[in-house]
Amino acid sequence: MSTEALIRKQNRDGGWPYVAGGSWTEPTVLAILALESAGETAPAERGVAWLRSLVRSDGGWPPRREVDQSSWVTALVTLLGPEQIGAAAHRRAIAWLLDTTGEETTVLFRFREWLLGNDTPVSDPRFPAWPWLPGTAAWVGPTSIAILALDKENRRQPAAAIRRRIDAGRQFLLSRACDEGGWNHGAPAPLGYPAPPYPETTGMALAALRGIQAPQVDRGLTAAERFLAECRSADALNWLRFGLRVHGRLPAGYCTPSGVIYRTVPETSLDLVMTAAEQGNDRIWG
Amino acid sequence: MSAGGVLLAGCKNGGSPAAPAAPPRVSIVRAPAYDQSLYDTMRRILASHGLDVRGRSVVLKPNLVEYEAATSINTHPLVVHAAYEAFMAAGAASVRIAEGPGHRRNTLDLAEAAGYFQVIPKFEDLFVDLNLDDVTRVRPKGRFSRISKLYLPNTVLGAGLLVSMPKMKTHHLVGATLSMKNLFGTVPGGVYGWPKNALHWAGINECVADLQTIYPRKFAIVDGIVGMEGNGPIQGVPKPVGLVVTGEDPVAVDATCCRIMRIDPFQIGYLGLAAADISEIAEQGIVQTGESIASVATPFALIPLFKGLRMA
């Protein structure tokens, strides 16, 4: 899908669907980033206007207008920066991210587990991370996106509270690394049975662990390089490129293999964003 | 219907006993392999159930989870295509294939790895990714879980008939995953994430039961040709069974599958919650056609946590 096709996919309300139909927050944010990296500001501005109309009273964003709950997509929206979504809205979104943790590390849940005699914590409470939806557990995907968002904000306006959440989130990711290298969406060994890593979540986690040196990162990079050579999923390749590039491990002049099909707005958008970043125009880090 | 059920129904009707509901009907058909004979098998199965789908929109909901081609994780595409052809031949106005995988976001890549593009002509035109579909808010009627509302895909909400097409597998959290648990794939990841952890927090058994109350027009086709035993639904091992199990009552279908797997259906939490009456689960309350359970039952290996589910 080209930039022109991406523009044609824009809904009348200014947002984008995942493939067809109504507008969703995630594809809209990614389409905006992609079109801005291509210099297409008019459709991007309409997308921003749609996003601004969606903000909820708690400062977060829902996955789409009809859903009356803020979710992980709030982190994606903050990547657009205060100049676009508005300084107050951006500030409140960052606050929402700082206030959101996986349910399993909340005081109430831990107290309840203690009352029930469950001694083994689900997650290390020192390392709260991020869920898909508040009231549920933390996972690799939303945690990685939240770290990207907070890291960008911390570089713009450093704050100790933001730094603490980034550091804790990264410790969460390191604790979730698969023994063989890489990350799947959650625990490396659910119910004691080792689970294999996924290419897309490996890429996400590596992107969030930018600048971190650790054995888990080394093994993750080795896994990512293997996935990059084998994978034909557009979504996975996008994230692998991101994760490898920020660690200086994306092969110079890398081109996605022929035959990779970009089926969704996020897949196309992220490809455009990654390509621009690899050419020095990084819309995510700024 | 049990005697107790008749009494209760009579009380609800102001003292007049209601006519007992027809017992659920489940068919067990031998299907030794994923081959061309499945097409005729599926047509005969639909005819035997007397399903009238003329003019109706049918949605087939298989189970797609992971990319591992050499395992028995995913519903086989030949079973799905055979069902597609059978429903079209039976006069359905349309037949779509729809799924919302809970672990991997790249649904079409997953379907491709599972062989769906190779086996089903124009698959991408027929397929709806339920994770990314437009949604409508619904309130579960059963309210078994604490979830008061769910945002569900319009494609399944608007289906004239929703056909759950699971694999016959053990499950490391609830014992067995069959036609009822398969409907977790109708809950969109676009709203709830990957995985749909909100359902786990609200209680898997309770959410499975709630989902049953939302979709009124259902049919189940269980791919038991090669199932999965052990640490299902992903890390188990293939279990050849050679069956397709079908029926309009998902509770009865799943209870029958459990018996085939030598799992006590009365110990499966969601079956007890969802059953309108104990007879839906009890073997004597189900009209069994085709092969007898005794002639096809084969014990599925269970992880230590679920050893207690084994039927005596």
Q: List pLDDT tens digits, range B159-169.
A: 999 999 999 99
Of the candidates B109, B129, B192, the beta carbon closest to that of A233 is on B109
List, for residues A106-123, the tens digit of each pLDDT value.
888 888 888 888 866 667
What CATH number is attached to the domain comprising B276?
3.40.50
pLDDT band at B18 (very low <50, low <70, confident <90, very high): low
Residues B1/B20, Cβ–Cβ less than 8 Å: yes
- What pLDDT does B11 receive? 38
| pLDDT value at residue A1 | 64
Domain membership of residue B176 (yes or no) is yes
Contact B190 A186 (CB under 8 A): no
**Distances in Å between the alpha carbon of B181 and those of A216, A260, B82, B147, B221?**
35, 33, 22, 16, 13
Residue B204 lies in a domain: yes
Quote the CA–CA distance of A121 and A253 in Å, as a whole number: 45
* A109 touches B: beta carbon within 8 Å: no
The stretch B266-274 carries a mean pLDDT of 95
Q: How far apart are CA A165 and CA B156, in angstroms?
A: 40
Instruction: Nearest chain B residue to A18 by CA: give it.
Output: B132
Closest C-alpha among B227, B219, B285 to residue B256: B285
A238 CA: distance to closest CA in chain B (Å): 12
The pLDDT score that the predictor gives to residue A151 is: 97
Average pLDDT, chain B: 92
Residue B163 within a domain: yes
Query: Which chain B positions have a beta carbon within 8 Å of A19's beta carbon?
Result: 129, 132
Q: DSSP labels for B161-192? A: EEEEE-EEEEETTTEEE-TTGGGGGGS-HHHH
Report how many domains make up chain B.
1
Torsion (CA) A122, A124, A125, A128 in degrees, nearest 10: -100
Which three-class secondary structure state does DSSP give residue B118? helix
User: What DSSP state is assigned to residue B76?
Assistant: P
Whether B12 is covered by a domain: the verdict is: no
In a domain, B207, yes or no: yes
Q: Which residue has the tokens 């944010």?
A: A29
The answer for A 220-259 residues in CB contact with B (under 8 A) is 232-236
Residue identified by tokens 């269970």 is B302
Handedness of CA B98, B102, B105, B111 (dihedral sign): negative
Instruction: Count the helices and strands in chain A (H runs, E runs).
Output: 13, 0
Spatial separation of the C-alpha atoms in residues B130 and B185, rounded to whole Å: 8
Residue B8 belongs to a domain: no
Q: Which domain holds residue B112?
A: 27-309
Beta-carbon separation of B104 and A263 below 8 A: no
Question: Which residues in chain A have their CB less than 8 angstroms from residue B303's CB?
Answer: 191
Using CA atoms, how far residue A7 sits from A10, A17, A45, A193, in Å, is 5, 12, 12, 45
Q: Given an 8 Å threshold on Cβ–Cβ distance, is A72 in contact with B193?
A: yes
The pTM for the full model equals 0.94
- Mutating which of A19, A67, A76, A113 best tests the B interface, going by the most B Cβ atoms within 10 A? A67
Task: Please report the residues numbered 85 through 144 in chain B whose beta carbons come closer than 8 angstroms to any beta carbon of chain A.
Answer: 103-106, 108-109, 129, 132-137
Residue B283 lies in a domain: yes
pLDDT (0 to 100) of residue A113: 86
- Contact criterion met (CB < 8 Å) for B193 and A139: yes
CB pairs under 8 A between A and B: 90
* % chain B with pLDDT above 70: 93
Rg (CA), chain B: 18
Residue of A nearest to B106 (CA): A235
User: Mean per-residue pLDDT for B225-229?
Assistant: 98
The 8-class DSSP code of residue B243 comes to E
Cα(A198)–Cα(A183) distance, integer angstroms? 6
Scanning every residue of chain A, which has its alpha carbon at the shortest distance from the alpha carbon of B305? A191
CB B251 within 8 A of CB B280: yes
Name residues 34-93 of chain A within 8 A of B (Cβ). Answer: 63-64, 66-67, 71-72
Q: What is the pLDDT of residues A134-175, one digit of tens each?
A: 999 999 999 999 999 999 999 999 999 999 999 999 999 999
User: For the packed helices A140-156 and A160-175, what is the interaxial angle rounded to 10 degrees?
Assistant: 150
**Residue B10 falls within a domain, yes or no?**
no
pLDDT in tens, B25-52: 999 999 999 999 999 999 999 999 999 9
**What pLDDT is attached to residue B6?**
38
On whether any CB of chain B is under 8 Å from the CB of A156, the answer is no
Query: ipTM of the assembly?
Result: 0.95
- Write down the pLDDT at residue B111: 95
- Residue B292 has phi, psi (to 5 degrees) of -80, 155
CB nearest to B105's CB, from A136, A193, A200: A200
